[in-house]
Amino acid sequence: REDIEIHNEHLSLIFDTTTGHLKTVTNLKNKLILNVQQAFYWYNSSTGNNQDSTQRSGAYIFRPNGTEPFPIHTKGSVITKVVTGALVQEVHQVFSDWVTQVIRLYDGQLHAELEWTVGPIPFKDSLGKEIITRFDSDMQTDKKFYTDSNGREILERELNHRLTWKLNQTEPVAGNYYPVNSRIFIKDNSRQLTVLTDRSQGGASLKDGSLELMVHRRMFYDDNFGVGEALNETGVFGEGLVARGKHYLMLESPADSSQLHRNLGEQLYMAPAVSFTPNTFSTQDWS
């Protein structure tokens, strides 16, 4: 009945006993605490006839037909299993039969690993869907968030704003999405929440303290920008694609974050190459 908590020597993660969602991230060294609600949602894709005011979503176009995505969750807690051990601890979550996540803490690591698995995206309701993971926190971020444009240059983004021209915002969601090639972060005076990705994704911060990343999409209409077919990859078995990936979450002070997320970003981008050979030698012989 209590909240579930896992920790290593750097981070403590607490999960809500009712929903099973991640609800508190604590940096044990700097005593930084972030109240957060992390969950998965889906935007309903626009349909219509591709005239200006009814532009469809598709391979080229992300244009949800509403500003609030729908939550993906089951009744009761989403947690199905907790694994603890000296090297790695895991919390397994099932948000629905097509969205699952494993949150891991490895001994000695400064970050938490969130491995998401999404798909096949249901299609019987004929609704196109764009699936996001979203972190809603208690940070005062003043409409600002930061994305990298090429793994090196970090750009400050501001909600409903463009640096060099006056924006008339007509797409409150899509108009605030930016490329996230390896990381996105939000910060306030004392804390910075950085999420690194294992691939290029789209992301935004549409509310104060909020940070979201798109992880999967499936639509049933062509957006008339040239591809000539819907973004509806059915995969080998015809049901749709299962996508799996990882996000790496860091909670540090803004001063420490810059160096730490660059280190981790490099380590992820140039990860060790692993190869195997059957080995008949005994340890002594081999050494």
Partner 1 sequence: SSQRFREAMAVAQHHDAVSGTEKQHVAYDYAMRLHAGAVECQEVVSHALAGKMKKGSVEPPAAQFCAYLNVSICPTTEENDHFSVTVYNPLARQVTGHYLRLPVNGQSYTVTAPNGKPVKTQMLKVTQQTAKVRGPRGNATSELVFPVTVEALGYSTYLISRATRTTRSLFMPQAETNVISMAIPQSPRM
Sign for the pseudo-dihedral over CA of 19, 204, 258, 117: positive
Of the residues 117, 224, 253, 258, which one makes contact with partner 1 according to CB under 8 A: 117
Q: Which is closer to partner 1, CB of 144 or CB of 224?
A: 224
Best CA proximity match to 121, nearest among 199, 231, 221: 231
Q: Is 133 one of the binding residues for partner 1 (CB under 8 A)?
A: no
Q: Is 70 one of the binding residues for partner 1 (CB under 8 A)?
A: no
Best CA proximity match to 244, nearest among 146, 127, 102: 102
Q: Among the candidate windows 43-51, 70-78, 165-173, 251-259, which touches partner 1 by CB under 8 A?
A: 70-78
Q: Which is closer to partner 1, CB of 157 or CB of 217?
A: 217
Q: Is 255 one of the binding residues for partner 1 (CB under 8 A)?
A: no
Q: Which is closer to partner 1, CB of 188 or CB of 222?
A: 222
For the window 200-229, what string marks contact with partner 1 as x by the rule CB under 8 A? -------------------------xxxxx
- The answer to whether the beta carbons of residues 240 and 233 sit under 8 Å apart is yes
Give the DSSP letter string of 146-190. Answer: EEESSSS-EEEEETT--SSS----S-TTGGG-EEESSEEEEE-SS
Q: Which is closer to partner 1, CB of 13 or CB of 79?
A: 79
Q: Is 60 one of the binding residues for partner 1 (CB under 8 A)?
A: yes
* Cα first-last separation, the chain: 51
Size of the site for partner 1 (CB under 8 A): 61
Best CA proximity match to 185, nearest among 149, 150, 148, 146: 146
Q: Tell me phi and psi for residue 285, to 5 degrees.
A: -60, -45
Of the residues 2, 85, 163, 170, which one makes contact with partner 1 according to CB under 8 A: 85
| 87-106: contacts with partner 1 (CB under 8 A) | 87-88, 90, 92, 94, 96-97, 100, 102, 106
